[in-house]
Structure formats: structure tokens, C-alpha cells
């Protein structure tokens, strides 16, 4: 899909309508798109990023439909193959083009694509290219979410090209987000699944973006932002240290014991004014769980004991939480066992990167008894007190 977004500036948005899994890991309920951009100057033409190799044909068809006599520069903001995958095919069409990227990006692309090293032009932070009437500046942005990344800023039209950063996985016939609630949810899912591990680094990059005058944020996935403050303000909230009065409970229950505990906790916490988001892991879209973890103050992991340890689905969820490192302040474990086990120690051992205070676990033998429910009441009270201490719960 080729559309002009400014005079002499086009987006090539190659929709992947049917794709439902990214990196064999991330659910894509709305598909995705691979966005590239073409800019014409009076002296030089530029292609910013390219496409996933699986969509090479529609991408090249759109690019060639512009009937450009030349492309002087292929700017690669991020080396991941869903944006760099078509570089060699573009070079075959425009053999005089130079690939513009960071030194580390070049190293990755040579390894991934075997692109000849002499085709590269290395830029650093605040390097620029004059296109004739238009100027591109480059902004170093490592670890959003790979180490080699950068942004490209078009001075005259005030467009910031961020590649993966601030993206949203949506396939659409539209181009602009226009403050769409669906885009907000897709962007939050994208942040939770991809960007959240780099929360502290992203704060610094947001501060750099604040120094720019931006009319349009042009990302490499999904709809682009014609109201930049929409996504920037959302990211500032997500990366802040502020949590919400929310408890997330990822859990599995094999014979009903853990489920009874989850329901008891859910009802008790809600009565005390705490929002609760339970996720039965055997039926949960893992991306929904990741979104729930973005703002939650407390995480309660629930599991039965399987051969002395936690249920495998709980292991996966705990491992995922450890990878994406949400800003939660508290965590604990609830569950059941039949004869013996070390479930709590194993789960806690899976989440060393979570900077949380561990609350007292509640583990029952068989089905919960009256004394077990009293312990759950104590856990409810402890969470209420902790949330009040954070200033996120009044009354209770």
C-alpha cells in the first residue's frame, strides 16, 4: 500500500493481514504491517527501512511504481529482518545506493544478509544528510530494542522515523492513528511484549525526543501518529515508576484448589477497593497478560504442584515476567500440593529480575480449609496496606 503523506514523501505500508505470531513468540491478533518511507529531495532520494522478506513482492511493486530514477541512500534505523530483509533486492534495483546506518547495525546486517561491507555509509549521533531542500538528522537510540538502533528526523517537515520504537502491530487500510482507542491498546501490547524490558533506557530516549519539534511520528509497524503527543504521553506513563491499584493473578488450577483460592482473593480484594486481573494461563493470550503487567502494583502467581514443582504454564509465565521486567512493587505465590514439593522456591527462583518485595505465600495441602482462607484474608489485608502505603488506594 503506497500513499503520499507529504509532497515528495511516501509511506510503503506492506500489510501482513494473516500473520498471527511474531518471532514465534508474540501473538498478533490484528496482524501487522512493515512500513518503509521514500523521501525525494532536489538532489537525492532516500528509502528509509524496507520490508520483511516474506512480503518482498508487494513492497518492491510499490517502490517501483514511484518510477524513481535513483535511490541514493537506504537508511536502516534497525537491523531486524522484518525491516532490513529486502535490502539486497533494493540494491539490485538501485546498485549505486548506499546503506546508511550505525557501525553496529552494519556488523549485524553483514552477518544476517551477507550484504557487501563496501555498500555501507556509517553515521553517528547527530550526523546529517542533505537531500537538497531537505535535511535528515540521525539520533542514536540503542536498546529500543536492539543495541544498534537509531532514529531519523526530517527537519523541514518535522517527521521522526522511529522504526520499531513506539510501534503498534496492526494491519490496516488506514495510515494514521488519529487517537484511535484500538491503536492505544495495540501500542500498549507492543510496549509490554517488546519494549518494557528497556523501560529505564526508554526514559532517556523520550527525553531526547522531547527536544524535537515533531509533527508526525512515522513507525515501522502499524498506524503512524499524526498526533505525536498521543503516543509520547502514553509511553511516559508506561515507563514511569508509578504503578496502579491493580493486582494481576496469572494462575493454573488442575483440580480446582488453586482456582478456589484465586476466586476468594479476587472477591476479597475487589471488596477492599483493589482492581484485580486474573489470567487462567491455559486459556490466556500471553500478550494480554503482558499488558496487565504494565501498570500492576502486585503480582500473585498461582499454581498447583506438578511432580514437586510448578505447573509448566506457570513456569513459562514467570519466566516471561522475568524477561519483560514490569515495574510491580510486590509479588507472592499461592497454590496447592498433594504430598510435598518446592514450588514456591522454584517460582521465586524464576523471577530474580523483578525488583519486588515478596509477600508471604499461601500454599495449601489438598483443598483449602478454614485456616487457609484466614491466611488468604491476611494476604488481602497485607496487599491493601501496601497499596495504601504507595498512595494508590484510599479507604479500603
The answer on 254 and 117 residing in a single domain is no
Q: What is the DSSP string of 136-187?
A: EEEEE-TTSSSTT-EEEEETTTTEEEEETTT------S--B-TT-HHHHHHH
Q: Which CATH number belongs to the domain containing residue 323 in this structure?
A: 3.40.50.360
Evaluate whether residue 391 is within a structural domain: no
The reported pLDDT for the residue numbered 341 is: 76
The answer on 376 and 297 residing in a single domain is yes
The reported pLDDT for the residue numbered 178 is: 80
Dist CA 12 CA 330 (whole Å): 44
Domain region containing 221:
2-239
Q: Which residues pair with 34 in a beta bridge?
A: 14
CB 186 within 8 A of CB 230: no
The reported pLDDT for the residue numbered 342 is: 87
The answer on 269 and 229 residing in a single domain is no
Total count of domains within the chain: 2
The reported pLDDT for the residue numbered 340 is: 80
The answer on 253 and 174 residing in a single domain is no
Contacting residues for 375 by C-beta, under 8 A, at least 6 apart: 360, 362
Looking at 239, 270, 304, the residue that finishes a domain is: 239
Looking at 239, 273, 300, the residue that finishes a domain is: 239
Mean pLDDT in order along the chain per 10 residues (396 residues): 97 96 90 98 98 96 98 98 97 98 98 96 96 98 96 98 97 88 94 97 96 98 96 97 98 97 98 98 95 98 95 96 97 94 93 97 96 98 98 83
Evaluate whether residue 257 is within a structural domain: yes
Dist CA 90 CA 197 (whole Å): 33
The answer on 222 and 260 residing in a single domain is no
The answer on 98 and 63 residing in a single domain is yes
Helices assigned H by DSSP within the chain: 56-64, 81-84, 87-93, 103-113, 181-190, 199-210, 228-239, 257-271, 286-293, 312-324, 343-349, 370-390
The answer on 115 and 16 residing in a single domain is yes
The answer on 219 and 281 residing in a single domain is no
The reported pLDDT for the residue numbered 309 is: 94
The reported pLDDT for the residue numbered 396 is: 52
CA 34 from chain centre, in angstroms, equals: 15
Evaluate whether residue 378 is within a structural domain: yes
Pairing of strands 135-140, 309-310: unpaired
The answer on 285 and 151 residing in a single domain is no
Q: Which CATH number belongs to the domain containing residue 227 in this structure?
A: 3.60.15.10
Looking at 207, 239, 271, the residue that finishes a domain is: 239
The answer on 76 and 158 residing in a single domain is yes
Evaluate whether residue 395 is within a structural domain: no
Dist CA 250 CA 195 (whole Å): 21
CA 52 from chain centre, in angstroms, equals: 18
Task: Tell me, yes or no, if the pTM score tops 0.75.
Answer: yes
The reported pLDDT for the residue numbered 25 is: 86
The answer on 151 and 295 residing in a single domain is no
The answer on 58 and 153 residing in a single domain is yes
CB 30 within 8 A of CB 18: no
Evaluate whether residue 142 is within a structural domain: yes
Contacting residues for 389 by C-beta, under 8 A, at least 6 apart: none
C-alpha cell belonging to residue 67: 518510477
Evaluate whether residue 393 is within a structural domain: no
**Closest residue by Cα to residue 132 from 155, 109, 115, 111:** 155
Evaluate whether residue 396 is within a structural domain: no
**Closest residue by Cα to residue 66 from 37, 88, 95, 86:** 37
**Closest residue by Cα to residue 248 from 306, 329, 184:** 329
Evaluate whether residue 392 is within a structural domain: no
Amino acid at each position: 500500500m503506497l500513499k503520499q503523506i507529504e509532497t515528495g514523501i511516501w509511506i510503503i505500508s506492506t500489510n501482513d493481514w494473516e500473520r498471527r505470531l511474531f518471532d514465534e513468540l508474540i501473538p498478533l491478533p490484528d496482524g501487522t504491517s512493515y512500513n518503509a518511507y521514500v523521501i525525494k529531495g532536489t538532489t537525492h532520494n532516500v528509502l528509509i527501512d524496507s520490508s520483511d522478506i516474506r512480503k518482498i513482492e508487494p513492497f518492491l511493486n510499490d517502490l517501483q511504481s514511484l518510477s524513481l530514477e535513483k535511490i541514493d541512500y537506504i537508511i536502516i534505523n534497525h537491523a531486524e529482518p522484518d525491516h532490513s530483509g529486502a535490502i539486497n533486492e533494493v540494491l539490485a534495483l538501485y546498485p549505486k545506493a548506499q546503506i546508511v546506518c550505525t557501525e553496529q547495525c552494519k556488523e549485524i546486517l553483514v552477518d544476517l544478509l551477507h550484504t557487501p561491507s563496501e555498500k555501507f555509509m556509517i553515521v553517528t549521533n547527530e550526523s546529517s544528510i542533505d537531500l537538497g531542500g531537505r535535511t535528515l538528522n540521525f539520533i542514536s537510540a540503542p536498546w529500543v530494542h536492539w543495541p544498534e538502533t537509531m532514529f531519523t528526523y526530517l527537519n523541514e517537515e518535522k517527521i521522526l522515523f522511529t522504526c520499531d520504537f513506539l510501534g503498534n502491530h496492526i494491519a490496516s487500510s488506514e495510515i494514521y492513528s488519529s487517537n484511535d482507542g484500538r491503536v492505544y491498546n495495540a501500542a500498549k501490547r507492543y510496549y509490554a511484549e517488546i519494549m518494557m524490558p528497556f523501560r529505564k533506557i526508554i526514559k532517556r530516549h523520550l527525553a531526547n525526543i522531547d527536544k524535537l519539534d515533531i509533527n508526525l511520528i512515522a513507525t515501522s509497524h502499524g498506524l503512524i501518529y499524526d498526533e505525536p503527543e498521543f503516543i509520547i504521553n502514553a509511553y511516559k506513563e508506561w515507563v514511569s515508576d508509578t504503578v496502579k491499584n491493580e493486582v494481576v493473578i496469572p494462575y493454573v488450577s488442575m483440580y480446582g484448589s488453586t482456582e478456589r483460592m484465586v476466586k476468594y482473593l479476587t472477591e476479597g480484594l475487589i471488596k477492599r477497593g483493589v482492581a484485580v486481573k486474573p489470567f487462567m494461563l491455559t486459556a490466556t493470550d500471553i500478550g494480554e497478560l503482558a499488558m496487565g503487567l504494565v501498570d500492576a502494583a502486585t503480582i500473585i502467581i498461582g499454581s498447583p504442584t506438578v511432580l514437586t514443582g510448578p505447573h509448566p504454564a506457570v513456569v513459562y509465565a514467570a519466566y516471561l515476567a522475568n524477561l519483560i521486567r514490569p515495574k510491580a512493587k510486590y509479588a507472592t505465590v499461592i497454590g496447592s500440593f498433594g504430598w510435598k514439593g518446592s514450588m514456591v522456591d522454584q517460582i521465586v527462583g524464576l523471577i530474580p529480575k523483578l525488583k519486588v518485595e515478596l509477600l508471604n505465600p499461601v500454599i495449601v495441602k489438598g483443598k483449602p480449609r478454614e485456616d487457609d482462607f484466614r491466611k488468604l484474608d491476611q494476604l488481602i489485608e497485607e496487599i491493601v496496606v501496601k497499596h495504601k502505603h504507595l498512595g494508590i488506594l484510599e479507604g479500603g
